[in-house]
Amino acid sequence: MSRVQPYQPLLLRLLHGVNGFLILAAIVTGALVYNRFDGRWGKLDLTVSPVIIDIHGTIGLILLFIFAVFALYSFYFGKQRLIQDNVGDQLRQVNRPQWWNALQRILNTLMLIAVTFSLLTGRFMKEDWLKDRDLNHLAYTLHLSGWVVLVLGIVLHVLLGLKVGGMPLILSMYSPEYRGTREAWPWQKKTVTRETEPLRRKNVLLLLAQVLVAGGFITALSAPLWSSGEEEDKDEEEKREDRSS
């Protein structure tokens, strides 16, 4: 007996689709950057142009702002798909539908944090590091680990989606269907029901995730200022050394 395909809000499908495409593009170009400039833990025999590092950086910058919109939507208008305050009770019901739903919501929340982490570490990197084969930088190491986490997260995201809702759930995220005026938009006032009432309670875990993502986004935006400050300090140090010598 086939499952009925669920319906996802149009805005969610658009934001999820654009972010998904950019994240996959960042993962692929990131792998090519590693293959071209690093390759310490293995590489493919591919001819990759040095310009790939600029393409990867541009994709990351675009993703930074598009992802901020998606995160805002997820935390405030799609919070029912994220970790809930009763997650402890749900996780005690091992291998039941509530347990799998809880795992999916936890993973959705962790994916938002993982993308933020990858964007943040990428913003603290400098192109000259890789071009000069200067690979022993904490920001670069963390950025590489973020790439691994994202790949694993996407695989688990798809697998849990298949487990919870099967192919109908996966396909519903890419369906062109639109219900017009019957679809509720985020800015429309919604009626509080018994089903939506739990979402109005204080969710400490979700609040923590919001702080991490918002803090990561603000820090990523200000990263160039931090880098320029460090460069000025280095220049002043070099000038002082020249004067003393």
Q: How far is the C-alpha of 148 from the C-alpha of 151, rounded, in Å?
A: 5
Which residues have CB under 8 Å from 86's CB, separation 6+? 198
pTM: 0.84
The residue assigned the tokens 């000069």 is 132
Question: How far is 210 from 23, CA to CA, in rounded Å?
Answer: 20
Look at residue 181 in the predicted model and tell me its pLDDT.
57
**Residues of the chain with confidence (pLDDT) below 70:** 1-4, 180-201, 226-245
Return d(Cα 14, Cα 233) in angstroms, integer: 44
pLDDT score, position 171? 87
Pick the closest to residue 102 from 123, 115, 88 (CA basis): 88
E strands, the chain, are: none
For the stretch 70-87, pLDDT in tens is 999 999 998 999 999 888
